[in-house]
Chain A
Amino acid sequence: MMFGWTGVILRVNLTNGEIKKEPTNMQDARLFIGARGLASKILSDEIDPKIDPLSPANKLIFAPGPLSGTMAPSMGRYNVVCKAALNGVIAASNSGGSFGPEVKFAGYDMIIVEGAAKKPVYLWIFDDEVEIRDASDLWGKNVPDTTDAIRAVTDEDAKVACIGPGGEKKVLFANIMNEMHRAAGRSGVGAVMGSKNLKAVAVVGTKPIEVADPEAFEKAVIDARKKISEHPVGGTGLRVYGTDVLVNILNGVGSLPTRNFHDGYFPSADKFGGETLTAKYLTRPKGCFSCIISCGRVTKVTNPKYAGEGEGPEYETAWGFGSDCGVDDMDAITKANYLCNELGIDTITCATTIACAMDLYESGYITLKDTGGLAIPFGSAENMVKLVEMIGNREGFGDQLAEGSYRLAKRYGHPEFSMTAKMQEMPAYDPRGVQGIGLHYATSNRGGCHVRGYTISPEVLGVPFKVDQHATEGKPQLVKTFQDLTAALDSTGSCLFATFGIGADELAALLSAVTGVHYSTEDFMKAGDRIWNLERLFDLKAGFTGKDDRLPDRIMKEPIQTGPSKGEVSHLDKMLPEYYKLRGWDTKGVPTEEKLQELSLI
């Protein structure tokens, strides 16, 4: 009998229509756990990192983890792993809801999609029955309509992950949406799905997930639930205000990037913060599978100009369409969020690409002629909302923005306007005001990204302990620890927010109890280190080098102009060499043979 893992991988080749069920390599499963780790191992083994991400040679893996589907708290996450459309790194884009657990209930540790279909198709999975079905009628539909249409012809309660027009048109930051509102947002995994002509994956599962040591498991669950629900962030802050609670917190420490990172402070930020969202927009909180936090926001905008219903905005979205675009109109911000979800595009890269365009426009490098008559200085809320639709449908000027800010800024001759690390847009924490997160952005294996080394916890929130946000001392170790912990955590099926309450000890206990494979805290952290290095090797083979572990010049040279972090720049150069050393990498950022041996990677 299998515990935690199902022991079966579903492999679907869209080029020749072949559907296979293979045994999970259990030796790899022990080393790389599942989800992000195990899927990255499979991708690394099976594709050449140099391929064009939008070619049929790329593979798209939908991967829950061994804890997915159990009642360990907040285990609703799964990862979509492939070579990233946006920037060519190894992508593991993480989403919540119930889709991941449903894949497990259908009997699979993961679903590997290969090749490309000649015409639009979707995948229908009901336990052992797997069909590739025609999706011609679905092509062009937005995310909610696609979801409803598939349920009408499969099962009314099917869990559906799909792309919208953004993925179909290969917007380079298109996402994959499941259950209408949850997004595997970053890296452009939706464009990869679109390149395969795969509109959706619909799943119903009725099989069991077994637990190896019920007694230890029950004890670990009670312990973990207690710690999360008693935590001020996990138990209260996120449930009451959602992630958007961070707006006022980050603005309060002068690290809320403003107007394409020209500044780190936005005086009217409260207008789009969590307190405002709760008071004026929130209908009710929503939780992913087995979540006890419920940070999801079911919301409504009544202003006729931007009327709509949906979920969000999350902090990153409110910030991106908010201060980063110089906008404080929460109606417009929320509407932009709804549109991104319906069109199936990443809110972070969408918003920050618009911010980059506004910056280029204000500097005169982009003119009305380029935008098709659309005036887009910072703060133009109405045209920002228009641009979201134009991007999702690749219409007019939106077609240029659909390539992301790196290509946009380069096209207009000013690559320094793109606020990216490894060609992916940095999120909502100014790396000049918070030093550790800057080192993380620069070294993250998927480029600019906050959820793989969230040092904001200790640097700003004081969780589990407070460190000085402006200091560089100790940050390389902090970044490495958070990156390793998150790599292991992401591989279990857990939500990152569980760390507002629990850590490696509790996760290792849950994983051991469910799978029957003993993981000490050290084993668990080492698995994270292993996964991090595996991803690094992929990126190096894809053509990235240590020279790409950098931040934009603006972050290194132009100080924050106003607010509590005024005068600060990033001191990345002070931290990077120590980080390499701690990682066991040479001075060029390449893992040493000794390190790879230690991690069983060679």
Chain B
Amino acid sequence: MAKFIMIHPDKCTGCKNCVVACSYEKENHFRPSASRIHVYSWEREGISVPMMCQQCSDAPCVSVCPTGAMHRVFGSSLIEYDSGKCIRCRMCVQACPFGNAVYDSVTDQIIKCDTCHDDPSCVIACPVKAIEYVEENVATRSRKKAFATKFKEAFQEVA
């Protein structure tokens, strides 16, 4: 079974431990601008949302890539990036509807989440489980159950 990174903005505290952990894992220093995950905070409302590559099945970054640098390995749910094939045309950067493929001028690379090859550092760093690495087919089960619980409680009140 394949896994993906699930976000829970309701739990996110905006601490950016995921952001620094990612930058350290990938670049060996702390540089949030090179992190593959970003956290945006709306301070008036007190809401924070983590964002990273969604590993789209029909990925625009793959479709527009003229050299096959951005590609999916057969049987994998990951979109992978081959720096050797990449001509730095930044078409993927333009195409990604989420803004999750980024060109980093410091390293001259396209940077995007690769789930740290099945062991995401951001997930390990999150102190409140606002990001989780979960099985795709059962990923939303707990979220569904949380809402089901509310229904259950409502019915119990009526009964």
Which residues of A does B touch, CB under 8 Å? 69-71, 76, 98, 105, 144, 147, 157, 179-181, 205-211, 214, 225, 229, 283-292, 294, 296, 298, 309, 311
Contact across chains for B13 and A208 when beta carbons are under 8 A apart: no
Contact across chains for B29 and A211 when beta carbons are under 8 A apart: yes
Contact across chains for A206 and B33 when beta carbons are under 8 A apart: yes
Which residues of B does A touch, CB under 8 Å? 10-11, 13-17, 20-21, 23-24, 27-34, 40-41, 43-46, 48, 106, 125, 127-128
Q: A70, A147, A225, A287: which contacts B13 (Cβ < 8 A)?
A: A287
CA distance A181 to B46 in the complex (A): 10
Question: Contacts A208-B30, A229-B127; is A287 near B15 (CB within 8 Å)?
Answer: yes
Q: How far is the CB of A154 from chain B (nearest CB, A)?
A: 15
Residues on the B chain within 8 Å of A284, using CB: 10-11, 13, 46
Contact across chains for B46 and A98 when beta carbons are under 8 A apart: no
Contact across chains for A294 and B46 when beta carbons are under 8 A apart: no
Q: A206, A214, A286, A288: which contacts B46 (Cβ < 8 A)?
A: A286
- The majority secondary structure among interface residues of chain A is loop
Contact across chains for A287 and B14 when beta carbons are under 8 A apart: yes
Residue of A nearest to B16 (CB): A289
Question: Contacts A208-B27, A284-B13; is A292 near B46 (CB within 8 Å)?
Answer: no
Contact across chains for A180 and B13 when beta carbons are under 8 A apart: no
Residue of B nearest to A229 (CB): B127
Q: List 24 A-B contacts (CB under 8 A).
A: A69-B30, A70-B30, A71-B21, A71-B24, A98-B16, A180-B43, A207-B31, A208-B23, A208-B27, A208-B29, A208-B30, A208-B34, A208-B106, A211-B28, A283-B46, A284-B13, A287-B127, A289-B16, A291-B17, A292-B127, A294-B15, A298-B46, A309-B44, A309-B46
CA distance A292 to B13 in the complex (A): 9
Question: Contacts A70-B30, A214-B28; is A157 near B16 (CB within 8 Å)?
Answer: no
Contact across chains for A210 and B29 when beta carbons are under 8 A apart: yes
Residues on the B chain within 8 Å of A181, using CB: 43
Residues on the A chain within 8 Å of B23, using CB: 208
Residues on the A chain within 8 Å of B29, using CB: 208-211
Contact across chains for B128 and A294 when beta carbons are under 8 A apart: yes
Question: Contacts A291-B13, A294-B127, A294-B128; is A71 near B20 (CB within 8 Å)?
Answer: yes
Contact across chains for B24 and A179 when beta carbons are under 8 A apart: no
A180-B43, A205-B33, A286-B48 are known contacts; what are 18 more A-B pairs with Cβ within 8 Å?
A70-B20, A71-B21, A76-B15, A98-B16, A157-B40, A209-B31, A210-B29, A283-B46, A284-B11, A284-B13, A286-B13, A289-B15, A290-B15, A294-B15, A296-B13, A309-B45, A309-B46, A311-B46
Contact across chains for B32 and A288 when beta carbons are under 8 A apart: no
Contact across chains for B15 and A179 when beta carbons are under 8 A apart: no
Residues on the A chain within 8 Å of B10, using CB: 284
CA distance A298 to B48 in the complex (A): 11
Which of A147, A157, A225, A290 is the most central at the interface, judged by chain B CB atoms within 10 Å of its CB? A290
Residue of B nearest to A218 (CB): B24
CA distance A229 to B23 in the complex (A): 23
Residue of A nearest to B46 (CB): A298
Residues on the B chain within 8 Å of A210, using CB: 29-30
Which of A225, A296, A298 is the most central at the interface, judged by chain B CB atoms within 10 Å of its CB? A298
CA distance A147 to B44 in the complex (A): 10
CA distance A105 to B125 in the complex (A): 20
Residues on the A chain within 8 Å of B28, using CB: 211, 214
Residues on the B chain within 8 Å of A286, using CB: 13-14, 46, 48
Contact across chains for B20 and A147 when beta carbons are under 8 A apart: no
Residues on the A chain within 8 Å of B48, using CB: 286
Residue of B nearest to A127 (CB): B33
CA distance A82 to B40 in the complex (A): 32
Which of B20, B34, B45 is the most central at the interface, judged by chain A CB atoms within 10 Å of its CB? B20
Residues on the B chain within 8 Å of A296, using CB: 13
CA distance A284 to B32 in the complex (A): 24
Q: B20, B41, B46: which contacts A290 (Cβ < 8 A)?
A: B20
Q: How far is the CB of A395 from chain B (nearest CB, A)?
A: 26
Residue of B nearest to A297 (CB): B46
Question: Contacts A291-B15, A292-B15, A309-B46; is A105 near B32 (CB within 8 Å)?
Answer: yes
Contact across chains for B15 and A180 when beta carbons are under 8 A apart: no
Residues on the A chain within 8 Å of B24, using CB: 71, 211
Residues on the A chain within 8 Å of B128, using CB: 285, 287, 294
Residues on the A chain within 8 Å of B14, using CB: 286-287
Residue of B nearest to A102 (CB): B32
Q: A211, A285, A290: which contacts B16 (Cβ < 8 A)?
A: A290
Top 6 nearest A-B pairs (CB, nearest first) are A298-B46, A287-B15, A287-B13, A206-B33, A208-B31, A292-B127
CA distance A191 to B28 in the complex (A): 41
Question: Contacts A71-B20, A208-B27; is A288 near B15 (CB within 8 Å)?
Answer: yes
Contact across chains for B31 and A292 when beta carbons are under 8 A apart: no
Contact across chains for A180 and B44 when beta carbons are under 8 A apart: yes
